Amino acid sequence: MRLEGKTAIVTGGGSGFGAGIVQRFTEQGAKVLVADINAEAAEAVAAEHGGVAQQVDVADGASVTAMAAKAIEALGHVDILVNNAGITHVPTPMEEVDEAEFDRVFAVNCKSVYLTARALVPHFKERGQGNILNMASTAGVSPRPRLNWYNASKGWMITATKAMAIELASEGIRVNALNPVMGQTGLIGRFLGDDTPERREAIISTIPLGRFSTPDDLAMAAVYLCSDEASLVTGVCMEVDGGRCI
């Protein structure tokens, strides 16, 4: 029960890494608001794990503000914010990604972190404590070709995490990130583009431990970083990558 008595928001909590984090958080004693653009998915995960569901578009300010208000109303306060929601473009030469898709990637992967900070950092400051966990990626450390603007958005996330951590430390707020390698989630087909066994094996061959990441790999790391066991850990971007970035 490493998160006993804690409350949390998990964006993108209706599937993939987010759903894995919700499961582990609740098993460790936290009360969780499951936020997702897919309302049915959020409701299903919340129902399974005794949480609260909220539909949210993390790229929309009004929607994020409503999510924060719902969390404070339903949970009493918020201890932990997990900025997990994210998207990618399919593997494409950088100059061929269209402007609308570029804008959407940066809105969901980057602007969302600004919007959730605007909505929840004042609440954390008022309480004198808080914990923010961002979902970055090994793509921001060791980019793969043809995912250029996704890579850049995750590099932004890594820098934002460190900048947030240093600014908010004096307020008792910790900010960390996770850098997963390609994972067994609903986005894997978009990352691969051509989702074939051969393509999967080619990617796995670049991961020394020989497999993709799973939601539970990320969830267990998230439990540690969001627990009091990590009370002196801030500004860290932890690689959960099977050794890919070595």
Catalytic residues: 150
Classified as helix, coil or strand, 179 is: strand
Gyration radius from the chain CA atoms? 17
Spatial distance between the Cα atoms of 105 and 217, rounded to a whole number of angstroms? 24
- To the nearest 10 degrees (0 to 180), the angle between helices 16-27 and 215-226 is 50
Strand intervals (E) in the chain: 7-11, 31-36, 52-55, 80-83, 130-135, 173-180, 237-240
Record the tokens describing residue 126, joined without a space.
């008022």
DSSP letter at 107 equals I
Query: What does each C-alpha distance from 193 to 14, 154, 173 come to in angstroms?
Result: 23, 19, 38
